[in-house]
């Protein structure tokens, strides 16, 4: 006898109710009610989840609350997001890891886990060009750096390097987050490592907009340019309290590490401005002059200033008498497009000028002696200033124009004991190592070792020009005559007239304007009115210059 397995009771009931003739092994209908047990809570739809996201994002954008924002404004400072709004073209900023929160415990940290963890990271456009940023939010943990905070900065620096775009740090933080201990310090180490790895690869700019103390100060020192805001930004390794405890010196934060100190005394910062708005506008202008990375040329723009514009006013601007002073900045204004230039370290080591400008639409780096400050001599500070600027220009394919009017290196015990030899060697090393187009113009005097160091033909300048007022020599005629003819002068019945005659003789033989040209050490002696025309023509000719360097890991430059 064949038997048929009886259908389950539930199925039998269903079949009896519906009259279905479905086979007994058909799948049972889904159970009634919600698919998952939820108790009394309603089911959350996708729209509900999106609403949650909108609420969280609004909370992230608003920050810790109006009181914290008011406190920031009361200090004369903008919030991190307000600063980002001024830096980037409107509506172009994209944030990365805005929802990040720290995972530290202890000291009450588990109860305080704000989104962003006190730093805003992302990218946007500056004049249509991509730039990356991280901005400390002082309203959250005082902008102090913890593990998650540091990891966000590491990521954005790595993204900038991968994209081949500049990175700007808006610094306003209280240093390492004490509650997180050594993990915070390790976070700084990761930033320093990336600063060094990205050096000469992408432009790195630090903008100090509040406190920057302890280990935090080393990152700006490793970047290419440092901007500061007067009264509200300070940078130091040890604060006033520690200084007073150790040395007994009583000093304020601004006196110790304010903007004017670092731009005029220490040389740590290149630029200082009165307001954050002005500061960020100048950061945007600097970015407009720089290439995105070391594989690109600086941006070339069209200009209304004619390339064949003469500079005849230079004839009267620069006095022929080598002892008379003048302002080299006026020379720079004459040769630059529309008279515009962006000076680096305006208030530090004023005896040398370093500036970015355009000539014929092409960005150039200008290094020039300043006869209006210490007669334009080279010393410890000016050598360091010019060397670092030359290195930066070489790293980012910016041609160098050197305007020479130098009487030598500054003599003195302080200079010698301070290491003027090794500091001067830094500038020599930087020029010798540079492979970008290099053009020098000797306007007036160029004496001794300082002549060689200021990108002379003998150390690799591609083109060396001189005005008819130039004097290139080992030293001034008076000093040379006193050395060479000292016995003849001493034995003379009229030493003064003999000295004058021998000085004139020395000048006629070795210091006339065409002596260096006759010996092939100057390519041409030009009319001052042709200076801009000649420089633009030379820059065009050298635009595709390529120089192969010997294979090596790196050089060992003077320290």
Catalytic residues: 214-215, 449-450
Q: How large is the angle between the packed helices 328-335 and 531-541, nearest 10 degrees?
A: 60
3-state secondary structure 45-79: CHHHHHHHHHHHHHHHHHCCCHHHHHHHHHCCCCC
**Whole-angstrom distance, CA of residue 404 vs CA of residue 466:** 9
Distance CA 405, CA 426 (A): 19
Q: Quick one: CA dihedral 174, 177, 178, 184, positive or negative?
A: negative
277: tokens are 């708005």
Q: Which of 203, 137, 215, 128 is nearest to 170 (CA)?
A: 137
Number of neighbouring beta carbons within 10 Å of residue 203: 27
With residues binned 3-state (H G I as helix, E B as strand, rest as coil), the percentages for the chain, rounded to 5, are 45, 15, 40
Task: Name the nearest CA neighbour of 171 among 147, 188, 196.
Answer: 188
Check if the beta carbon of residue 365 is closer than 8 Å to that of residue 403: no
Q: Give the orientation angle of helix 477-484 with respect to helix 495-510, to 10 degrees.
A: 110
CA distance 286 to 280: 10
With contact defined as beta carbons under 8 Å apart, do 297 and 397 qualify?
yes
Q: Which H or E run includes 443?
A: strand 438-447
Q: What are phi and psi of 378, to 5 degrees?
A: -90, 140
Helices (H), 164-226: 182-198, 218-222
Q: Which helix (H) or strand (E) holds 234?
A: strand 234-236
Question: Rounded to an integer, what distance in angstroms lies between the CA atom of residue 199 and that of residue 395?
Answer: 9
Three-state secondary structure call for residue 296: coil
Beta bridge partners of 525: 466
Radius of gyration (Cα) for the chain, nearest Å? 34
SS (H, E, C) 330-373: HHHHHHCHHHCEEEECCCCCCCEEEEEEEECCEEEEEEEECCCC
Q: Cβ–Cβ contacts within 10 Å for residue 29, how many?
A: 9
């Amino acid at each position: 006898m064949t038997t048929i397995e009886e259908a389950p009771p539930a199925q039998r009931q269903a079949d009896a109710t519906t009259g279905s003739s479905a086979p007994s092994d058909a799948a049972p209908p889904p159970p009634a009610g919600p698919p998952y047990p939820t108790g009394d809570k309603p089911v959350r739809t996708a729209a509900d989840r999106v609403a949650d996201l909108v609420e969280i994002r609004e909370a992230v954008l608003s920050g810790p609350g109006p009181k914290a924002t008011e406190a920031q404004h009361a200090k004369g400072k903008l919030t991190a997001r307000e600063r980002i709004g001024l830096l980037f073209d409107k509506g172009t900023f994209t944030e990365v890891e805005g929802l990040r929160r720290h995972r530290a415990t202890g000291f009450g940290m588990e109860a305080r886990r704000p989104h962003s963890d006190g730093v805003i990271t992302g990218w946007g456009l500056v004049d249509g060009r991509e730039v990356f940023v991280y901005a400390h939010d002082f309203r959250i943990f005082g902008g102090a750096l913890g593990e998650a905070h540091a990891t966000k900065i590491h990521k954005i620096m790595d993204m900038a390097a991968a994209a081949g775009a500049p990175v700007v740090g808006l610094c306003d933080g209280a240093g390492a987050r004490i509650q997180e201990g050594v993990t915070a310090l390790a976070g700084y180490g990761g930033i320093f490592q990336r600063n060094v790895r990205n050096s000469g690869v992408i432009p790195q700019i630090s903008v100090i907009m509040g406190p920057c103390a302890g280990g935090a100060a080393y990152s700006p020192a490793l970047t290419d340019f440092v901007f500061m805001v007067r009264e509200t930004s300070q940078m130091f390794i040890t604060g006033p309290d520690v200084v007073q405890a150790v040395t007994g010196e009583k000093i304020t934060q601004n006196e110790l590490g304010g903007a004017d100190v670092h731009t005029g005394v220490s040389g740590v910062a290149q630029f200082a401005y009165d307001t954050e708005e002005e500061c960020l506008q100048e950061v945007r202008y600097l970015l407009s002059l720089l290439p995105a990375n070391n594989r690109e040329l600086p941006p070339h723009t069209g200009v209304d200033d004619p390339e064949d514009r003469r500079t005849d006013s230079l004839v009267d601007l620069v006095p022929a008498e080598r002892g008379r002073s003048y302002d080299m900045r006026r020379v720079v204004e004459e040769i630059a497009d529309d008279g515009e230039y962006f000076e680096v370290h305006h208030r530090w080591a004023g005896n040398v000028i370093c500036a970015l400008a355009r000539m014929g639409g092409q960005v150039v780096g200008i290094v020039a002696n300043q006869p209006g400050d210490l007669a334009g001599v080279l010393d410890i500070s000016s050598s360091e200033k010019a060397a670092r600027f030359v290195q930066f220009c070489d790293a980012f394919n910016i041609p160098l124009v050197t305007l020479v009017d130098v009487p030598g290196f500054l003599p003195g015990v302080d200079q010698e004991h301070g290491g003027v030899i090794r500091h001067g060697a830094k500038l020599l090393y930087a020029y010798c190592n540079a492979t970008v187009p290099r053009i020098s113009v000797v306007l007036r005097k160029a004496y001794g070792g300082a002549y060689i160091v200021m990108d002379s033909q003998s150390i690799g300048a591609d083109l060396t020009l001189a005005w008819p007022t130039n004097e290139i020599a080992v030293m001034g005629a008076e000093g040379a005559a006193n050395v060479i003819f000292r016995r003849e002068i001493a034995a003379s019945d009229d030493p003064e007239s003999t000295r004058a005659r021998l000085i004139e003789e020395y000048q006629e033989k070795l210091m006339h304007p065409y002596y260096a040209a006759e010996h092939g050490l100057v390519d041409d002696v030009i009319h001052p009115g042709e200076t801009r025309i000649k420089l633009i023509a030379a820059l065009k000719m050298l635009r595709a210059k390529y120089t192969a360097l010997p294979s090596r890991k790196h050089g060992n430059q003077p320290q």
